[in-house]
Amino acid sequence: MRLKGKKVVCFVDAEFEDLELWYPVIRLREEGAEVHLAAPEAGKAYHGKYGVPAVADKAYAELSADDYDGVLVPGGWAPDKIRRYPEVLDILRQADTDQKPIGQICHAGWVLVSAGILKGKKVTSTPGIKDDMTNAGATWVDEPVVVDGHLVSSRRPPDLAPYARAFADKLAGE
């Protein structure tokens, strides 16, 4: 239980990629981490692209970056909505400043683009948003998982196993 005592926040909104949200969340819980799902409204059920539900533990507005040791951003169409919340972007910027692990997969990169924390970073993502990532100042590579400092990125659902593992390792300080 090497993640015992670690707290992670995962951002949620409608039409998240179902497995990209849930696999890393459950995986971190397996090693003892406490993972909160945060969304526009606490207590509400949001549904993934396929329909898997996720009930929000917290509202964006009640989050404090200091409470968390890491941040997860899922893929799907949810990032197109998540990136519009200043509270979310603030938390990502502070996590970036504090060099806490930030995990992004597939279309999640849009949220980091809006947070403005990709300049000079090496990342991957779905090829669909490669141009947005590059325009935001990142160097884009086509690999299952890319770890650049505290930033962990991945491409798509078939990469979930190494992605979640890499994020867990980073969170554990390994």
Q: Which of 10, 36, 106, 150 does the annotation list as catalytic?
A: 106
DSSP per-residue letters across the chain: -TTTT-EEEEE--TTB-HHHHHHHHHHHHHTT-EEEEEESSTT-EEE-SS--EEE-SEEGGG--GGG-SEEEE--BSHHHHHTT-HHHHHHHHHHHHTT--EEEEGGGHHHHHHHT--TT-EE---GGGHHHHHHTTPEE---SEEEETTEEEE-SGGGHHHHHHHHHHHHTT-
Give the residues lining the site for a copy of itself (CB under 8 A).
Answer: 18-19, 22-23, 26-27, 29-30, 48, 50-52, 77, 80-81, 83-84, 107, 110, 113-114, 127-129, 131-132, 135-136, 160-162, 164-165
Active site residue 36: no
Active site residue 107: yes
Q: How far is the CB of 66 from a copy of itself (least distance, A)?
A: 26
Q: How far is the CB of 31 from a copy of itself (least distance, A)?
A: 8
Is 137 or 149 the residue whose CB approaches a copy of itself more closely? 137
Question: Catalytic amino acids?
Answer: 106-107
